[in-house]
């Protein structure tokens, strides 16, 4: 372990260990104030989201329909996750185990971060440290959200996918397990496109059969769970492709009846520059595609993080803590920034890398701006109408970062056996589709 990696680990451990130590020693007011300063509204006690899962399983065992209400939960929240949770949580684990399970989620996340984030300079150390202590990460850590566990799943996938055929099968199995637990990790099965058709078909068949069995067994519960998914406004700490077009339409129409058609029209308009940006970046990276070596852990981490973030971005609204998956893309972006030969592409990657910590700190920065202006009597935002300049910049940054990450996914797809076969069929005269 290099000195920079060791320093990053010590910073992260000291930061979050210190915050939780304050809470354990009874300094609740200081604990709440520090988190509020980061942009996180802390609950009365840590690991509220861990408590949600355990309470749902506890109430389910007592015969309660947890998709209607959950009296075992401090906030009466119905379970918005896969019904598999209440079958795999042992009966002896109740809400009393919240501190233990929440701590376990955090330790899994911490171990994954230390395994994947490898700064090689002081600048990279500072940038990664800022990302690790950001509003996004602090929110997930304080809530003990289950996405911490899925970050660990992603780390396991990254490690296994770099191994031999048997190890890669393990990676796909972990991706499938993540999917049946919280749906969105199913997208990691796209990694199987790396396999030759004679291996890809059995993997796809087994995954499809497993999914059919899962849906057949839990069909009604899954339907209820999807209906109970929380849906927030477009101006809160959540990321989504819908935020900018739908939020703009709401503001322009005053939340009137024409908001929805205008929302979809704006969304369609945004897809045009998004697609152009994906093509632009992918073409620039194609000249440096030898750097996209999937045998390097940083590049595998970049790909896995890109798949997760882009899929979540377009699938719907995601609470801010899911942005922890942005940490996965930073090692690969840093590696590419150091290695690319073209100055323009290097500058583009450097700007994208710098934008990610800004997005992870965005909610905290906005809170700081609101408090600063409020101190001199200027109100710059309300719950219904945000600081429009800051919100617009944030949402445009999200679209740009998503475009860059989508270009990584596109290049991966083009370099897979299936992707090369399709490209050769469409452009038979090109030699670019030969394995490099």
CA dihedral defined by 371, 372, 378, 384, rounded to 10 degrees?
-40
In a domain, 435, yes or no: no
In a domain, 192, yes or no: yes
Give me the mean pLDDT over the 53-81 stretch.
Answer: 84
In a domain, 432, yes or no: no
In which element (H, E) is residue 238 found? strand 238-239
- How many helices and strands, by DSSP H and E, does the chain display? 17, 2
Q: State how many domains the chain has.
A: 1
Q: pLDDT, tens digit, for every residue of 281-340?
A: 999 998 887 888 888 999 999 999 999 999 999 998 888 899 999 999 999 999 999 998
Question: pTM to 2 decimals?
Answer: 0.92
Q: How much of the chain, in percent, has pLDDT values that exceed 70?
A: 93
C-alpha distance from residue 242 to each of 27, 239, 382, 405 (Å) = 40, 8, 20, 18
The band of 145, judged by pLDDT with boundaries at 50, 70 and 90, is very high
Give me the mean pLDDT over the 32-44 stretch.
Answer: 87
- CA separation for the pair 320, 394 (Å, rounded): 13
Confidence at residue 374, expressed as pLDDT on a 0 to 100 scale? 64
Whole domain around residue 263: which residue ranges?
3-426
In a domain, 436, yes or no: no
Q: pLDDT, tens digit, for every residue of 333-367?
A: 999 999 988 899 999 999 999 999 999 998 888 87
Length of the chain: 436
How many CA atoms lie less than 13 Å away from 198 in the CB half-sphere?
A: 1
CB atoms within 10 A of CB 165: 8
Q: pLDDT, tens digit, for every residue of 198-257?
A: 999 999 999 999 999 999 998 878 777 777 666 667 888 889 999 999 999 988 887 778
| 245 vs 424, higher pLDDT | 245
The band of 429, judged by pLDDT with boundaries at 50, 70 and 90, is low
Confidence at residue 65, expressed as pLDDT on a 0 to 100 scale? 83
In a domain, 405, yes or no: yes
In which element (H, E) is residue 96 found? none
Confidence at residue 230, expressed as pLDDT on a 0 to 100 scale? 63
Task: Give me the sign of the Cα torsion angle 231, 237, 243, 248.
Answer: positive
Beta bridge partners of 238: 319
Residues with Cβ within 8 Å of 106's Cβ and at least 6 positions away in sequence, in order, are 16, 141, 144, 148
In a domain, 431, yes or no: no
What is the chain's mean pLDDT, rounded? Answer: 89
- CA separation for the pair 198, 165 (Å, rounded): 12
In a domain, 105, yes or no: yes
CA 216 to chain centroid, in Å, comes to 28
Question: Three-class SS of residue 318?
Answer: strand
- CA separation for the pair 89, 80 (Å, rounded): 16
Confidence at residue 133, expressed as pLDDT on a 0 to 100 scale? 95
Q: At what angle do helices 147-161 and 326-339 cross, to 10 degrees?
A: 40
CB atoms within 10 A of CB 391: 21
Cα-based angle 173, 114, 180 (whole degrees, multiple of 5):
25
Confidence at residue 436, expressed as pLDDT on a 0 to 100 scale? 47
Q: pLDDT, tens digit, for every residue of 258-268?
A: 888 999 999 99
- CA separation for the pair 345, 128 (Å, rounded): 21
- With CA atoms as reference, report the closest residue to 287 among 334, 348, 355: 348
In a domain, 433, yes or no: no
H helix runs in 254-296, sequence order: 259-286
pLDDT over 90 (residue 12): yes
């Amino acid at each position: 372990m290099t000195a920079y990696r060791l320093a990053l680990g010590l910073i992260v451990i000291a930061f979050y260990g210190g915050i939780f130590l304050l809470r354990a020693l009874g300094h609740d007011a200081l604990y709440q104030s520090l988190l509020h300063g980061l942009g996180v509204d802390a609950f009365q006690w840590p690991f509220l989201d861990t408590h949600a899962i355990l309470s749902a399983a506890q109430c389910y065992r007592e015969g309660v329909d947890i998709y209607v209400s959950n009296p075992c939960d401090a906030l009466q929240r119905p379970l918005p996750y896969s019904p598999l949770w209440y079958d795999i949580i042992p009966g002896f684990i109740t809400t009393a185990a919240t501190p233990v399970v929440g701590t376990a989620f955090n330790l899994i996340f911490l171990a994954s971060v230390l395994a994947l984030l490898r700064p090689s300079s002081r600048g990279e150390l500072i940038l990664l440290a800022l990302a690790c202590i950001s509003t996004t990460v602090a929110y997930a850590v304080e809530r003990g959200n289950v996405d911490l566990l899925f970050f660990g799943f992603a780390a396991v996938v990254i490690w296994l996918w770099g191994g031999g055929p048997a190890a890669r099968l393990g990676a796909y199995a972990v991706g499938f397990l993540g999917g049946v637990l919280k749906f969105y990790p199913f997208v990691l099965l796209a990694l199987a496109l790396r396999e030759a058709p004679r291996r890809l078909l059995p993997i796809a068949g087994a995954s499809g059969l497993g999914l059919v069995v899962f849906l057949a067994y839990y069909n009604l519960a899954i339907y209820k769970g999807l209906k109970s998914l929380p849906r927030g406004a477009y101006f809160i700490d959540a990321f989504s492709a819908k935020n900018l077009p739908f939020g703009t339409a709401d503001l322009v129409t005053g939340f009137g009846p024409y908001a929805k058609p205008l929302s979809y029209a704006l969304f369609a308009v945004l897809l045009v520059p998004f697609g152009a940006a994906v093509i632009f970046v992918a073409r620039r990276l194609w000249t440096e595609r030898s750097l996209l070596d999937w045998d390097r852990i940083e590049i595998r981490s970049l790909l896995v993080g890109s798949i997760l973030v882009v899929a979540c971005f377009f699938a719907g609204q995601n609470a801010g803590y899911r942005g922890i998956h942005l940490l996965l893309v930073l090692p690969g972006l840093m590696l590419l920034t150091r290695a690319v030969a073209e100055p323009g592409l290097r500058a583009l990657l450097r700007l994208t890398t710098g934008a990610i910590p800004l997005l992870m700190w965005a909610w905290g920065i906005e809170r700081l701006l609101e408090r600063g202006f409020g101190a001199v009597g200027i109100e710059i935002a309300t719950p219904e109408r945000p600081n429009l300049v800051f919100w617009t910049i944030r949402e445009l940054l999200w679209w740009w970062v998503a475009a860059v990450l989508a270009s990584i996914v596109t290049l991966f797809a083009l370099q897979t056996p299936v992707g090369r076969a399709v490209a050769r069929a469409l452009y038979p005269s090109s030699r670019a589709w030969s394995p490099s």
